[in-house]
Amino acid sequence: MTSPLYAIYGASGCGRGIMPVARQLLVSSGIDRSRLVFVDDAPSAANINDHRVLRYEAFLNEDASERFVAIAIADGRVRADVSKRCEVDRILHWTVQAANAVVMDDVSIGEGALLSPFVTLTSNIQIGSHFHCNLYSYVEHDCRIGNFVTFAPGVKCNGNIVVEDYAYIGAGAILRQGAPDSPLRIGRGAVVGMGAVVTRDVASGTTVVGNPARPIEQRS
């Protein structure tokens, strides 16, 4: 009987970073590593880190009972476009979570999340679909994270924060804790720069940098 085929969509740095986590998940479940591939729209090689690299069309044509994909593309809007493409072709979304990621009480996580090693999600947290949470990032209590949100490595997301769809939080950024009746809010499509310290709300489509974080440009 034909077995399922699993893929990391994107063979650049993000994809290569999550591939070992995905491989460990499958091998620990008794699935042969040969059933795990990269999918890339412009592959630079036929094989990367001992995994085949397929174009999307070739992935669709592989013999498989089912197809699963984890989308390892940092840009949330591009991730959303790829997600829709996969849904049209009846490819199932796959959540990849490192064995040492810590998920505590009452945490809801949507489909297609990528949780890298040393991630911590504490308690009473709601997370949408296709969340990327990179190395050493954490989400504290009573936060709400939207769809297609990206946390680069080392993000400190403290309690009572709302992060809306497509937001990108850069490496080492610190988001100040909000209040239960007045959460700190990172707007839809906002970008928080590397190392920024966010002490107040960030408007949708705004890029902020620095300590304290201040806007530098407006995005349409």
CB 186 within 8 A of CB 166: no
Tokens encoding 104: 């505590």
Virtual torsion, Cα 35, 96, 77, 121, nearest 10 deg: 180
141 carries an active-site annotation: yes
**Residue type present at position 127:** I
Reduced to 3 states (helix: H, G, I; strand: E, B; else coil), residue 69 is strand
- In 73-211 the beta strands, taken as DSSP E runs, fall at 92-93, 96-97, 102-103, 107-109, 114-115, 120-121, 125-127, 132-133, 138-139, 144-145, 150-151, 156-157, 161-163, 168-169, 174-175, 184-186, 191-192, 197-198, 206-209
Burial 13-37 (b: 16+ CB within 10 A, else e): ebbbbbbebbbebbeeeeeeeeebb
**Residues belonging to the active site:** 141
